[in-house]
A and B are shown apart, each in its own frame.
Chain A
Amino acid sequence: MLIAKNIHQYYGGSHILRDVSLEVPAGQVTVLLGRNGVGKTTLLKSLMGLVPIKSGAIELDGQRIERWTPYQRARAGIGFVPQGREIFARLSVQDNLRMGLASQPSGTPVPPQLFELFPVLKQMLHRRGGDLSGGQQQQLAIARALAANPRVVILDEPTEGIQPNIIKDIGRVIRRLAREGLDGRPMAVLLVEQYVDFAEELADHYLVMERGEVIARGPGSQMQGVRQLVAI
């Protein structure tokens, strides 16, 4: 579904992504692991179009999208949960969710499933996003990305700062989304996660990055050695 081929990316003079390729098939969860600063976020931003890539190709359903702007990619069906939550601090929770619907025709309602998943958002519908606690903001960020019912969802450390029982819920949700989406269609999920146990539970595929390169990849069932790879 979402395919990246031989991506190179630089910040100023430093080579951040070196020949990264990956595939995120629909209906499955692909997990990306790696130590701090190896370039995971940078890779996701490249997929989203937030940072330009120097070379390589990105395909969505066979279409080349690497020249597209972020909003075109969003409209093509990529949802994004950025690292650090990045919610709209001065917009209400409701308006944050409406922003998540920007790629949809106006008048599209927020899928009610989201409130089942994150009941706290329903309680706080009219509070300003910036006033929420860290974990509440994270939940909002996930809900916002899912609001538009995307085909591919990219999550950058989505469990950061969330309480354990909700993490478990999120795990269940991610799996369910991959299988059947919000409306029965399978979704492609790309997940960056530091929390290996959680990743292991979810992964259909995994990749490990080190200094901007993918150094290991494989099916989710064979992640035993990964913990060592991620360590120094």
Chain B
Amino acid sequence: MDRAPDRIVNTPSAATGLPTRAPLLSKPAWAAFLFALLVVCALAPVANLWVPPDSPLHLSDYAVALVGKIMCLAICALAMDLIWGYTGILSLGHGLFFALGGYVMGMYLMRQIGREGNYRSELPDFMVFLDWKELPWHWALSDSFAATLVLVLAVPGVVAFVFGYFAFRSRIKGVYFSIITQALTYAAMLLFFRNETGFGGNNGFTDFKRILGFAIATPQTRMVLFVLTGIALLGFLLLSRWLVTQRFGRVLQAVRDAETRVMFSGYNPVHYKLAVWVISAMMCGVAGALYVPQVGIINPGEMSPAASIEIAVWAAVGGRATLVGPIVGAFLVNGAKSWLTVTAPEFWLYFLGALFIAVTLFMPRGLMGLLRRGDRS
């Protein structure tokens, strides 16, 4: 991963004595970025598909699945960083947007199963089971991949917009905002758990067969999804970086520090918060859509309050307002989880808990804080 410099303005320019704008990425950061892109798009596929399994350079299917999954989660962490790290709004409901994106994709994948389900029906199994005779209205567009792509962005986007508009307009701040986002995702979880809601209840969607006509469980399809996820992650990183280096990003930080002052400077914080909130939600939606075909299941558990808190934890572990930090945090925490649940199944929670405590106590600015000590005090 690259190490984008966090400072936006740092070097005073010779001519005016004024600082110049920070570039989108510094030279070494560009190099790191391009290298990461190369790894994702070329090295990983080669190592997985063409290097023979007994070679030490071989990348196992398991690793592909694992890293693919974590990259999706890292997108969420990145989205969380925009809204929490830069704007100071702690969302405890980002899991909802992730799940919504996932459900949109899941609906498409369910339809792709066609008549190969248990009941050999055009309808998804759980609908046959509930004695439904036709698709409910909210499944109308689910057989179109194009519509699915639009909805993956639109559904979380619209939900976030409506919710955010009212919340920000009412000047709900701080923990009050955090708690209502939690209430939102919790309510959504209960709603999705209900079988009558039409999303498969507790089981959610699983047992997918195809995506765009390609079998979903082949190494090739999986690698394509992996590459797409990698590109999405790096793309969102670049997008986020661009956003925060623009004046937009500085207004966000200003909102975080002194919202009243922002208003008296003529900015409408509602618009700014809403914009970043919706962008952040849509990023999560994309992450969810990429996640579902890779892990093969989506269910309301993703909307549980704990799942959303975890996203915040990744961001905090990595280091807020650093962009790269949350990605690192997502990799570290989830990697540790995957590793420890096997090597120390009975003790891994101690390690993970201790990790969180240690990070807060000894690395107040997260892992990235270690790399830039003394940058801000």
Residue of B nearest to A12 (CB): B377
Nearest CB in chain A: distance from B292 CB, A: 47
Residue of A nearest to B377 (CB): A12
Contacts of B374 in A (CB 8 A): 12-13
Q: Give CA–CA (A11, B374) in the complex, Å.
A: 11
Contact digits for A3-39, partner B, Cβ 8 Å, 1 yes 0 no: 0000000011100000000000000000000000000
Residue of A nearest to B376 (CB): A12
Contacts of B377 in A (CB 8 A): 11-12
Chain A interface mostly helix, strand, loop or mixed?
loop
Nearest CB in chain A: distance from B116 CB, A: 63
Q: Give CA–CA (A12, B377) in the complex, Å.
A: 7
Q: Give CA–CA (A13, B377) in the complex, Å.
A: 10
Q: Give CA–CA (A13, B374) in the complex, Å.
A: 9
Q: Give CA–CA (A2, B164) in the complex, Å.
A: 56
Q: Give CA–CA (A13, B376) in the complex, Å.
A: 11
Q: Give CA–CA (A11, B376) in the complex, Å.
A: 11
Contacts of A11 in B (CB 8 A): 377
Residue of B nearest to A13 (CB): B374
Q: Give CA–CA (A11, B377) in the complex, Å.
A: 9
Q: Give CA–CA (A12, B374) in the complex, Å.
A: 8
Contact digits for B357-377, partner A, Cβ 8 Å, 1 yes 0 no: 000000000000000001001
Residue of A nearest to B374 (CB): A12
Contacts of A12 in B (CB 8 A): 374, 377
Contact digits for B110-139, partner A, Cβ 8 Å, 1 yes 0 no: 000000000000000000000000000000
Contact digits for B85-104, partner A, Cβ 8 Å, 1 yes 0 no: 00000000000000000000
Contacts of A13 in B (CB 8 A): 374
Q: Give CA–CA (A86, B374) in the complex, Å.
A: 28
Q: Give CA–CA (A25, B374) in the complex, Å.
A: 40
Nearest CB in chain A: distance from B376 CB, A: 9
Q: Give CA–CA (A229, B184) in the complex, Å.
A: 62
Nearest CB in chain A: distance from B133 CB, A: 60
Nearest CB in chain B: distance from A34 CB, A: 24
Nearest CB in chain A: distance from B61 CB, A: 50
Interface residues of A in 82-100 (CB under 8 A from B): none
Q: Give CA–CA (A12, B376) in the complex, Å.
A: 9
Interface residues of A in 185-230 (CB under 8 A from B): none
Contact digits for A41-78, partner B, Cβ 8 Å, 1 yes 0 no: 00000000000000000000000000000000000000
Nearest CB in chain A: distance from B364 CB, A: 15
Q: Give CA–CA (A189, B136) in the complex, Å.
A: 80
Nearest CB in chain A: distance from B196 CB, A: 46
Q: Give CA–CA (A225, B258) in the complex, Å.
A: 41
Interface residues of B in 319-377 (CB under 8 A from A): 374, 377
Q: Give CA–CA (A31, B118) in the complex, Å.
A: 88
Interface residues of B in 192-234 (CB under 8 A from A): none
Nearest CB in chain B: distance from A154 CB, A: 25
Nearest CB in chain A: distance from B99 CB, A: 38
Nearest CB in chain B: distance from A51 CB, A: 13
Nearest CB in chain B: distance from A116 CB, A: 37
Q: Which residues of A contact B (CB under 8 A)?
A: 11-13
Q: What would be 4 A-B contacts, judged by CB atoms less than 8 Å apart?
A: A11-B377, A12-B374, A12-B377, A13-B374
Q: Rank and list the top 4 A-B pairs by shortest CB-CB distance, nearest first.
A: A12-B377, A12-B374, A11-B377, A13-B374
